[in-house]
Amino acid sequence: MNNDPSGQHEISPGTFVQLTLPTTPATTFLSVLLTGIQTGEQAQVYFNTTPGTLTGATLIGTVTGADGSVDVPTGDQTGFIDITAGEGNVLLGGATVSTDTTVPDGGGTFGLLLFALATLLGASRLRSFRVA
């Protein structure tokens, strides 16, 4: 961040980084990893439904004095996650999300599997017929 008074380009009090939920592609936002936190420094993580402001935001967690993470409640998946520094300056180190691993293909994958098995069975029978 260009306005960090320490010149380290980190998130400082009075500034924040805002992440939009739901993410694209759709995921479940699980946690925020905060780094660069030293003794006397504090990161604050908020949930908000208003873009571009901390006004009306709800504090969901803090990390003080060392790197750490804050879990994002399952009920806070539509809106914004805001990260700011309560004291000192902090970094957003990463985020943990969970994706939907189901493949909605209407049974096409299963049908392809059956076709492949039938083809292998047919090939093995044809081979044993030719050997005999």
How many other CB atoms sit within 10 Å of the CB of residue 15? 16
Where along the chain do its domains lie? 1-101, 103-132
Architecture per CATH, domain 1-101, reads as Sandwich (2.60)
- pLDDT at res. 17: 93
- C-alpha torsion angle, residues 65, 5, 31, 33 (rounded to 10): -60
Beta pairing partners, 20: 80
The full DSSP string for 107-128 is: THHHHHHHHHHHHHHHHHHHHH
Each residue's pLDDT, cut to its tens digit, for the chain (132 residues) gives 666 667 667 898 999 999 998 877 778 889 999 998 999 999 999 999 999 999 999 999 999 999 999 999 988 889 999 999 999 999 998 888 887 666 556 666 667 777 777 777 766 555 554 555
**SS3 of residue 131 by DSSP:** helix
φ/ψ of 117, rounded to 5, equals -65, -40
- pLDDT at res. 132: 52
